């Protein structure tokens, strides 16, 4: 659930970390090149079929190939970033533990997230990372079915008590599920989902932060006041993440603990919603896939039981394949502790490379059911990997499977569109095709 943090469980932090390949030779893109790209994107938006991410990736690859480099150094407005074009180099950076001190969060990432949560796991390093990582793994149930899975499943099913007709409807239902799962059912949480969504928009907009950040201080205070009230009133037996947080807080200062919570919240209504809506659109666009999902639901057991949701392997593969094709988080930033430029991993560029095989642009869920993942699956950065793997991946996948089982099995949701119905797929997700219709509820 947290982007770019990862891996205290086991001994990942203590292992020798692979060194990145020599990145001294970098292609250069200046202001003229960037303006040229922006002009292409602006003109392209006038065409309904324009694939903006594909255009950006072509531009970057062409610049790197022309100069024989695997990194594109982009300088605009006094800031320089290094866009990685090599999966090998990207893997080398991501494999370095945040506890080791070789790489930290990039300036852009740290500056943005510090506005909302200065102690968040996603920008922590050193001993602080160890404390926060261990805490997140304990609360989020990394690597296993969550201890509160039954209660969480009931909240998801209650939140999706009617068929959602589009991404906005799914986002609203995920907000209801998030409130119960993270904060509990206490008063004063009604605006929490909206507050965290607005604040993350500010986090992701450096100009907005610099010019208008002062306007959001009151909203930030209100969000943390709601989180603190729920945390302080949580009892040991309450079935919510904040109750677990009280029991898992050893070694964490109060501010450190509370600063983990906004990212948990936003995952539901941000990247979790995007992953869920896009997966639903792909499944409903392809009748054979939809039938296979429904057959699995019918054969596996009651969707009201967490063990059923855990056994929905093909449905889980559909989620992973959708995230590979259309990553809801498209980039992350790192920087050498010794200094230098921000290093940008742009996931569509790295995981939709034609060199990964003939089916890299195709929707092939079965690649995730093989004993050994193929090259396309191995390149996916949906939840990152190794020491930076997302600690909430298992929980958000459980929530998404439960919601899909509800929408497809109970409400017979249909939808999708022509672009998603055939391969190869574009790099940019066609948002207009995340529209759904449904029969009356059967349960």
Secondary structure (H, E, C), 111-127: HHHHHHCCCCHHHCCHH
Which burial class, exposed, middle or buried, applies to 140 when counting CB atoms under 10 A from its CB (0-12, 13-18, 19+)?
A: buried
Helices (H), ranges, 144-205? 149-159, 167-178, 192-203
CA distances from 222 to 113, 189, 216, 332 (A): 17, 10, 10, 28
Question: Over 80: is that where the pLDDT of 129 sits?
Answer: yes
Overall average pLDDT of the 235-244 stretch:
94
- pLDDT value of residue 29: 86
- List the domain range (segments joined by +) for residue 126: 107-331+394-437
Confidence of residue 20 (pLDDT cuts 50, 70, 90): very low
CA-based Rg of the chain, rounded to a whole angstrom? 21
pLDDT-wise least confident of 2-11, 267-276, 283-292, 409-418: 2-11
Is 293 part of a structural domain of the chain?
Answer: yes
When pLDDT is averaged across residues 58-87 and rounded to a whole number, the result is: 90
Q: Pairing between strand 436-437 and 331-336?
A: unpaired
Could you tell me if residue 203 is inside a domain? yes
Average pLDDT over all residues of the chain: 90
Q: With respect to residue 353, please indicate whether it lies within any of the assigned structural domains.
A: no
pLDDT tops 90 at residue 42? no
- Output the CA torsion sign for 100, 106, 111, 112: negative
Q: Residue 27: inside a domain, yes or no? A: no
- Does residue 183 form part of some domain? yes
Tell me, yes or no, whether 14 lies in a domain.
no
Check whether 183 has a pLDDT greater than 60. Answer: yes
Note the residue count of the chain.
443
pLDDT classification of 11: cutoffs 50, 70, 90: very low
* Residue 26 within any structural domain of the chain: no
Strand residues in 237-393 grouped as ranges (E): 331-336, 342-346
The stretch 382-403 carries a mean pLDDT of 94
CATH for 300: 1.10.630.10
- Number of domain units in the chain: 1
pLDDT confidence bin for 2, thresholds 50/70/90: very low
Residue 28 has pLDDT above 70, yes or no: yes
pLDDT above 90: residue 4: no
9: pLDDT confidence band, cut at 50, 70 and 90?
Answer: very low
- Whether residue 339 is contained in a domain is answered as no
Give the pLDDT confidence score for residue 77 in this predicted structure.
67
Place of tokens 């500056």: 111
323-369 per-position pLDDT tens digit = 999 999 999 999 998 888 999 999 999 999 999 999 999 999 999 99
Assign 440 a pLDDT band (cuts: 50, 70, 90).
low
Q: For 181-192, what is the mean pLDDT?
A: 86
Section 256-273 average pLDDT: 97
Residue 13 has what pLDDT?
37
């Amino acid at each position: 659930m947290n982007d770019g943090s990862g891996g205290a469980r086991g001994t990942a932090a203590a292992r020798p970390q692979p060194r990145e390949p020599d990145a001294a030779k970098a292609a250069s893109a200046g202001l003229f090149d960037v303006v040229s790209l922006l002009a292409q994107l602006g003109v392209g938006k006038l065409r309904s079929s324009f694939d903006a991410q594909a255009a950006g990736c072509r531009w970057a690859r062409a610049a790197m190939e022309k100069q024989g480099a695997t990194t594109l150094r982009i300088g605009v407005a006094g800031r320089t970033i290094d866009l990685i074009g090599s999966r090998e180099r990207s893997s080398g950076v991501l494999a370095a533990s945040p506890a080791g001190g070789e790489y930290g969060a990039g300036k852009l990432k740290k500056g943005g997230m510090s506005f909302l949560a200065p102690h968040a796991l996603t920008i922590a390093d050193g001993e602080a990372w160890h404390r926060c990582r261990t805490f997140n793994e304990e609360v989020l149930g990394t690597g296993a079915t969550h201890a509160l899975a039954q209660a969480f499943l009931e909240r998801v099913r209650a939140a999706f008590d009617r068929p959602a007709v589009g991404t906005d409807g799914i986002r609203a239902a995920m907000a209801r599920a998030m409130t119960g799962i993270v904060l509990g059912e206490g008063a004063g949480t009604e605006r929490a989902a909206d507050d965290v969504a607005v604040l993350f928009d500010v986090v992701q907009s450096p100009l907005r932060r610099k010019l208008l950040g002062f306007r959001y201080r009151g909203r930030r205070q209100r969000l943390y006041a709601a989180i603190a009230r729920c945390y302080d009133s949580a009892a040991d037996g309450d079935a919510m993440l904040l109750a677990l947080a009280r029991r898992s807080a050893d070694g964490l200062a109060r501010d450190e603990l509370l600063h983990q919570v906004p990212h948990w919240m936003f995952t539901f209504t941000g990247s979790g919603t995007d992953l869920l809506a896009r997966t639903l659109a792909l499944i409903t666009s392809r009748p054979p896939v939809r039938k296979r999902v429904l057959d699995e639901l019918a054969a596996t057991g009651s969707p009201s039981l967490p063990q059923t949701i855990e056994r929905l392997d093909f449905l889980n593969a559909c989620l992973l394949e959708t995230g590979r094709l259309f990553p809801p988080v498209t980039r992350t930033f790192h920087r050498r502790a010794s200094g230098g430029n921000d290093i940008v991993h742009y996931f569509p560029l790295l995981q939709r490379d034609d060199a990964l095989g003939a089916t890299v642009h195709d929707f092939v869920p079965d690649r995730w059911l093989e004993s050994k993942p193929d090259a396309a699956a191995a390149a996916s950065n949906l939840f990152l990997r190794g020491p930076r793997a997302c600690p909430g991946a298992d929980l958000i996948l459980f929530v998404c499977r439960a919601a899909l089982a509800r929408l497809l099995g109970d409400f017979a949701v249909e939808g999708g569109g022509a672009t998603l119905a055939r391969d190869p797929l574009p790099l940019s997700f066609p948002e207009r095709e995340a529209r759904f219709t449904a029969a009356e509820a059967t349960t």
